[in-house]
Amino acid sequence: MVKVQKGKVEELKKLQKTEVSSSAQHVPQDQASTSADVAGDIENALMKDRTDNKKEKKEQLSKIHAWKSNFRPSSIPIFGNLQHFPSDPYVSTEWIIEYSHLALKQGESCLRLWVGNLLYVYPLSGSALKPILESSVEISKGSDYNFFKAWLGNGLLLSDGAEWKAQRAMLTPTFHFTILNDFMQIFNRQTKILLEKMQEHADNGKMVDIYEMIGACSVDMIGEAGMGVELKTSKSKTIPT
């Protein structure tokens, strides 16, 4: 990437005009015209480079807020914060949650952790997450998503850039409020069935895994709203997982 300083473009213009003018005295008109075109292409390329530099700087500035957190565990070269992570994945998740709560108490809006050479940023508030969700630039997926490309292809979930924007534009009307309103009757009916299932376990004083019940409710909603079929999964004694 070439950095173009102030005044350089003007100098290039003068130099290009001088070169083209002197060349025109010794070469045919069509060649002089070609030289002018080449000079114009060089100028356009340099101007575009200035624009790209500005855009790149803007993108970099949009990421700076992720580095502002002063509350972070100590790290070591190469390994980052790996020495803090328990070997049990469940305990590691609990550790991150606990550390996030400590960061919030210190008034921080983000928690950043290094895992090797990878930086993970955890927004801790809606205001910290808002710039990311509203950004039209930060739409590239992390390398973790590459695992699914052979299965899901380069669709809306995994694509980025112009391809993602084109697919998003086609899909957005499908989820317009006026269309979703037509399905509210289905959502309400299936939610009522879910609440009835939960009510059966509400007063027995025992711990209940609601994963299966919510999963069955979701399947019934999708089946009826998307395919027009009443699967009645929630009312079945055997719930598929």
Q: For residue range 221-231, list pLDDT tens digits in order.
A: 999 988 888 88
**Per-residue pLDDT tens for 42-66?**
445 445 544 455 555 555 444 444 4
- The predicted structure's pLDDT at residue 177: 80
pTM: 0.44
Between the CA of residue 24 and those of 14, 18, 27, 39, what are the distances in Å?
15, 10, 5, 13
What residue segments make up the domains of the chain, in order of their start? 8-65, 68-135, 139-171, 177-227
Strands in the chain per DSSP E: 110-115, 118-123
pLDDT of residue 83 exceeding 60, the answer is yes
pLDDT of residue 2 exceeding 50, the answer is no
- Give the integer Cα–Cα distance in Å for 94 and 84: 12
Render the burial of 3-38: b for 16+ CB within 10 Å, e for the rest: ebeeeeeeeeeeebeeebeeeeeeeeeeebeebbee
Across 147-171, average pLDDT: 85
